[in-house]
Amino acid sequence: WEFLVQRASNLQLLQIEDVDLGSGPLEWICKGLRAHKEIRCLRFTGVHLGPAGAKMLRNVLAQSSSLIQISLDSCALLDAGLAE
């Protein structure tokens, strides 16, 4: 994450498509979103989050004031993680 942000310091869009993120990589992404407020747009398409991932992402979104556009298309968000 730090390497990515150093190379693209004006990064405003994080887009990830068609991948099954495990809790380790998603935790890393969530920490990065908390630390780098320059990210304005988050797009996950076809990213399987799972219940634990949905909880992690829910917490980031609840705390973020910098994300102004969020797209979570085809991410299996019927998981229990968002319902709590």
- Condensed to tens digits (0 to 9), the pLDDT of residues 64-77 reads 888 999 998 988 77
Quote the CA–CA distance of 10 and 49 in Å, as a whole number: 26
Average pLDDT over residues 53-81: 83
φ, ψ (nearest 5 deg) of residue 15: -125, 125
Quote the CA–CA distance of 30 and 52 in Å, as a whole number: 12
Q: Is 76 left (phi over 0), alpha (psi -120 to 50) or beta?
A: left
Q: What is the pLDDT of residue 79?
A: 46
- Condensed to tens digits (0 to 9), the pLDDT of residues 13-28 reads 889 999 888 778 888 8
Q: What is the pLDDT of residue 5?
A: 55
Confidence check: pLDDT of 2 > 70 = no
pTM of structure:
0.77
